[in-house]
């Protein structure tokens, strides 16, 4: 038995699961940038590839193999995931088993989704500067509407009944709310906004409301706000600049982070981290597998590459993470963009440029991160 965690061991082992569709295309670029970064910053990392995907499932009948969760916990510091989803698996069984399976079984209770406008030209809103869109969503990732509790009865008859229950626990709510406040303190953020639908969902709403108020007492330096999720959706569009850190349940967090992705330029640029601090954690772009785009060179690798930056930050390599973010800003400023952002660069051209920029990062780190904006 070792006394160090896989995060502390060297090399730090990374499980790499490109998955389906464009997950493989952007995954290849993520590896390219990761390798350039490891080389430039002398990181001792080791990548191990796993073929789990729709193809693998259709060939073998296996989604997430037995023992995979334990293997990840024992040997790996982090997991990178591309995307899952394939029209040949209409019930998404493999995606549910692998993606949701890993979130739940590794107890990755924080789904951290930064929403940051890297370049103001990407914002669909009028007159927004890059600094106006810069907030982080803390989505609860292990309970709520995603627990799969419910059932159906008299299916296919006029009397059909379907139930779908949400489970919210004090422990589950408290730890995600605390994570949001801890992040606010650590990153100099002013406010944490909790969003729910407590005017309609009384019992769950009561638990979230009380927990939020109680946890907030431990963080007197952080301002608090509560918004019903419908009002939050409106305000995210009207005044994104008023948001700093948002904490939400699993389902609301899912919905508002797609809205957030649109504010920063679309699904192609959105990144996420599924975290359990101190344990193996999983990093993935927010977008799906987009089957029609697979292999066309049109997929945007930025969401995947930014997820790599989040992973390196989690693994203790802040300088390397900053260098990747600076490279993303550089590529967007130079107009090296895939078609989803209005450019004509291919997936691998963007990846090559990001890798080259990271490789050329000066020894004392990237220049202070600057987002492109007009004066
Ligand atoms: C996401 C996705 C997943 C989710 C789907 C694929 C189950 O939309 O990561 O946001 O709802 O969590
Ligand atoms: Mn989603």
Same domain assignment for residues 25 and 106: yes
Q: How many other CB atoms are found less than 10 A from the CB of residue 258?
A: 14
User: Can you tell me the mean pLDDT for 4-15?
Assistant: 92
Tell me which residue of 191, 150, 180, 188 sits closest to 167, measured CA to CA.
150
Residue 157 covered by a domain = no
Q: Tokens for 136? A: 């982080």
Ligand 2 midpoint to CA 221 (Å): 32
Same domain assignment for residues 87 and 211: no
| Closest atom, ligand 1, to C-alpha of 250 | 12
User: Can you tell me the mean pLDDT for 292-321?
Assistant: 98
Residue 183 covered by a domain = yes
Domain that holds residue 238: 124-147+167-264
> Is any atom of ligand 1 closer than 6 Å to the C-beta of 140?
no
Last residue of a domain, one of 264, 291, 317: 264
How many domains is the chain built from? 2
Same domain assignment for residues 81 and 21: yes
Tell me which residue of 337, 264, 364, 320 sits closest to 33, measured CA to CA.
320
Ligand 1 midpoint to CA 149 (Å): 17
- The catalytic residue among 55, 71, 197, 219 is 197
pLDDT (tens digit, 9 = 90+) per residue, 242-252?
999 999 999 99
**Pocket test residue of 20, 96, 100, 112 for ligand 1, highest count of atoms within 8 A of CB:** 100
The length of the chain in residues reads 375
Last residue of a domain, one of 264, 286, 308: 264
**Residue 373 confidence (pLDDT):** 46
Same domain assignment for residues 246 and 336: no
| Closest atom, ligand 1, to C-alpha of 254 | 10
Q: Is 373 helix (H, G, I), strand (E, B) or coil?
A: coil
**Residue 365 confidence (pLDDT):** 59
Is residue 230 annotated as part of the catalytic site, yes or no?
A: yes
- What burial letters (b/e) apply to 266-295, b meaning 16+ CB within 10 Å? bbbbbbbbbbbeebbbbbbbbbbbbbebbe
Same domain assignment for residues 89 and 173: no
Percent of the chain with pLDDT over 70: 96
Ligand 1 midpoint to CA 103 (Å): 11
d(CA 293, CA 266): 15
Residue 159 covered by a domain = no
CATH number at residue 252: 3.40.50
CATH number at residue 19: 3.40.718.10
> Is any atom of ligand 1 closer than 6 Å to the C-beta of 254?
yes
- The catalytic residue among 134, 254, 313, 352 is 254
- The catalytic residue among 20, 25, 134, 146 is 146
Tell me which residue of 320, 314, 345 sits closest to 331, measured CA to CA.
345
Q: How many other CB atoms are found less than 10 A from the CB of residue 184?
A: 23
Same domain assignment for residues 237 and 274: no
Strand order across the 78-83 sheet = 45-49, 12-19, 78-83, 281-285, 271-275, 110-116, 134-140, 245-248, 191-196, 223-228
| Mean pLDDT computed over every residue of the chain | 95
**Residue 5 confidence (pLDDT):** 87
Does residue 186 have a pLDDT over 70? yes
Residue 162 covered by a domain = no
Same domain assignment for residues 171 and 103: no
Same domain assignment for residues 63 and 88: yes
User: Can you tell me the mean pLDDT for 317-329?
Assistant: 97
> Is any atom of ligand 1 closer than 6 Å to the C-beta of 20?
no
Last residue of a domain, one of 212, 240, 264: 264
Is residue 182 annotated as part of the catalytic site, yes or no?
A: no
Same domain assignment for residues 81 and 139: no
Same domain assignment for residues 28 and 133: no
pLDDT (tens digit, 9 = 90+) per residue, 224-233?
999 999 999 9
**Residue 363 confidence (pLDDT):** 66
Same domain assignment for residues 299 and 316: yes
pLDDT (tens digit, 9 = 90+) per residue, 35-64?
999 999 999 999 999 999 999 999 999 999
Residue 251 covered by a domain = yes
The residue ranges of DSSP E strands in the chain, in sequence order, are 12-19, 45-49, 78-83, 110-116, 134-140, 144-153, 161-167, 191-196, 223-228, 245-248, 271-275, 281-285
| Closest atom, ligand 1, to C-alpha of 96 | 7
Question: What is the sign of the dihedral through the CA atoms of 141, 145, 150 and 155?
Answer: negative
Task: Answer yes or no: are the C-beta atoms of 353 and 312 closer than 8 Å.
Answer: no
Confidence bin at 4 (pLDDT 50/70/90): confident
Say what the pTM is: 0.95
Residue 158 covered by a domain = no
If you write DSSP's letter for every residue of 227-244 in order, what string do you get?
Answer: EEHHHHHHHHHH-GGG-S
Same domain assignment for residues 111 and 182: no
pLDDT (tens digit, 9 = 90+) per residue, 243-283?
999 999 999 999 999 999 999 999 999 999 999 999 999 99
**Residue 374 confidence (pLDDT):** 45
């Amino acid at each position: 038995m070792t006394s160090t965690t896989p995060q502390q061991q060297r090399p730090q082992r990374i499980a790499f699961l490109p998955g389906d569709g464009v997950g493989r295309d952007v995954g290849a670029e993520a590896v390219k940038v990761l390798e350039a970064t490891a080389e430039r910053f002398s990181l001792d990392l080791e990548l191990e590839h796993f073929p789990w995907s729709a193809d693998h499932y259709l060939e073998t009948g296996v989604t997430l193999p037995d023992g995979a969760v334990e293997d990840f916990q024992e040997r790996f510091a982090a997991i990178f995931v591309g995307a899952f989803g394939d029209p040949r698996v209409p019930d998404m069984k493999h995606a549910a088993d692998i993606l949701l399976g890993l979130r739940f079984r590794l107890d990755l209770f924080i789904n951290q989704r930064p929403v940051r406008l890297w370049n103001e030209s990407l914002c669909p809103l009028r007159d927004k500067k890059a600094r106006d869109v810069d907030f982080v969503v803390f989505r609860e990732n292990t309970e709520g509407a995603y627990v799969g509790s419910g059932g159906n009865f008299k299916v296919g008859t006029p009397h059909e009944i379907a139930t779908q229950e949400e489970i919210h626990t004090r422990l589950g709510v408290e730890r995600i709310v605390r994570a949001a406040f801890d992040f606010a303190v650590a990153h100099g953020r002013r406010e944490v906004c909790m969003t729910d639908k407590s005017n309609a969902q009384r019992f769950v709403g009561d638990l979230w409301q009380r927990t939020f108020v109680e946890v907030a007492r431990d963080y007197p330096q952080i301002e608090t706000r509560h918004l019903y999720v419908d009002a939050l959706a409106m305000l995210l569009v009207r005044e994104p600049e008023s948001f700093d850190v948002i904490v939400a349940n699993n389902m609301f967090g899912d919905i508002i982070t797609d809205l957030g992705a649109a504010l920063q330029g679309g699904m192609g640029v959105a990144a996420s981290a599924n975290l359990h601090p101190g344990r193996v954690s999983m990093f993935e772009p927010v977008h799906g597998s987009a089957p029609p785009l697979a292999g066309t060179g049109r997929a945007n690798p930025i969401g995947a590459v930014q997820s790599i930056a989040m992973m390196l930050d989690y693994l203790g390599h802040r300088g390397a993470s900053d260098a990747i973010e600076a490279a993303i800003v550089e590529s967007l400023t130079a107009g090296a963009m895939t078609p989803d952002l209005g450019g004509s660069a291919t997936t691998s051209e963007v990846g090559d440029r990001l890798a080259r920029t990271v490789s050329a990062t000066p020894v004392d780190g990237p220049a202070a991160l600057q987002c492109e904006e007009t004066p």
